[in-house]
Amino acid sequence: MDENNITLIDNLDIQKNDFTVKVRIIRLWSQPLFKDPEQLYSIEMILMDEEGSKIHSNVLQKWIPKFKNLLHEGAAIFIKNPTIARHVSKYKLIDNTKKLSLYYKTSVTKCLDFSGSLYGCNISFLCTGIKDQEHEVVDFSECPSLRSLTIKNCSGFGNSNMAIVGKLCPHLHKLDLRGLCGITDSGLLELLTNGTPRLVKINLSDCVNLTDKVVVDLVKIHGGSLEVLNLDRCRKIGDESLSANPDNCFLLKDLDVSKCEITNLGVSCLSRGRQTGLLRYLRPHWAQTNPRQFWAEAPDC
């Protein structure tokens, strides 16, 4: 299967049905007919891609024989040409407004190189009681299947804990550290340099002690996979972050530098990179007051 033709769950478009997804079946169950519980109505599934995004999927009873040998919990598969529609059910098991359905034009094949989690595990912390470790914790085990981690607004979470997270979670794709005012460049760098450089989405908003230095390092290490970067209210971050190797982030499609120390120079440098379309989503708050003056004064990088 050509990896270039794979569509991520977050990028699915209900206007299209000519696409292929690479997913693991993390939950599967049979849905009986409402009026006759002895009769099978459908097979229902929760699918997850390699980034950890999930979507509900089903196969109606008449199409089950076509796919039943390939559909079982834990299986990694390619699904080509399913239908996609809005998930209108009042009760949803996951936070996704779309739903995939397999039918007679759909093909399903085994996937032997799926790198995502086996059980769809994500971890999220929202806390005030965690304190930074003053010494290294020796007795721990890695979480090699963990792809998404959120630790937000934990005022006591600092550089030592960040280094531990880097060792525990070497294969993260999504990282949300918003509001961690206790971490600095050196702490975040410990996490960034551990494991495989495949971070796709990073939220560092309100990490007020981070500077341009760590953003430059982030671009060098993870620029090839990075798609979303949120630096909202990181007031020590400025033009250097936008001017440092912008071509490295050729997949970047969403950048938030609101309330950062960005000037015309930084945006001008960014506009000369390969991802110039990103400027449609770039919203430095001060550039909105007089956009004509902003672009007129934008210097050459």
Over residues 116-152, the pLDDT tens digits come to 766 565 555 555 555 565 544 445 567 777 888 888 8
**What pLDDT does 15 receive?**
86
- Integer-rounded Cα Rg, in Å, for the chain is 22
The residues, ordered by sequence, that sit 6+ positions from 207 with a Cβ below 8 Å of its Cβ are 177, 178, 179, 180, 181, 183, 188, 234
State the residue for tokens 């009769």. 39
The most confident of the ranges 72-76, 245-249, 267-271 is: 72-76
**What pLDDT does 288 receive?**
46
Residue 56: pLDDT over 90: yes
Mean pLDDT of 101-129: 76
**What pLDDT does 250 receive?**
78
Partners of residue 56 on adjacent β-strands: 46, 99
> pTM for this structure?
0.56
How far from 190 is each of 82, 87, 183, 184, CA to CA, in Å? 42, 41, 11, 10
- Give the integer Cα–Cα distance in Å for 76 and 111: 5
Q: Is residue 265 within a helix (H) or strand (E), and if so which, with residue range?
A: helix 264-271
pLDDT above 70: percentage of residues in the chain: 78
Structure tokens at 140: 């721990």
Phi first, then psi: what are they for 218, rounded to 5°? -60, -45
- Give the integer Cα–Cα distance in Å for 58 and 25: 11
Mean pLDDT of 242-260: 80
- Give the integer Cα–Cα distance in Å for 211 and 242: 12
Choose among 219, 168, 165, 228: nearest CA to 200: 228
**What pLDDT does 206 receive?**
92
**Average pLDDT, whole number, for the chain?**
81
Mean pLDDT of 163-191: 89
- What DSSP line would sit under 56-97, residue for residue? EEEEEGGGHHHHTTT--TT-EEEEES-EEEE---SS-SSS-S
Mean pLDDT of 268-281: 57
User: Taking the C-alpha atoms of 246, 250, 252 and 253 in order, what is their torsion angle to the nearest 10 degrees?
Assistant: 110
Inter-residue long-range contacts of 288-292, CB under 8 Å, 24+ positions, other chains counted: none
How far from 149 is each of 1, 120, 134, 169, CA to CA, in Å? 29, 12, 22, 9
**What pLDDT does 146 receive?**
80
- Give the three-class secondary structure for 41: strand
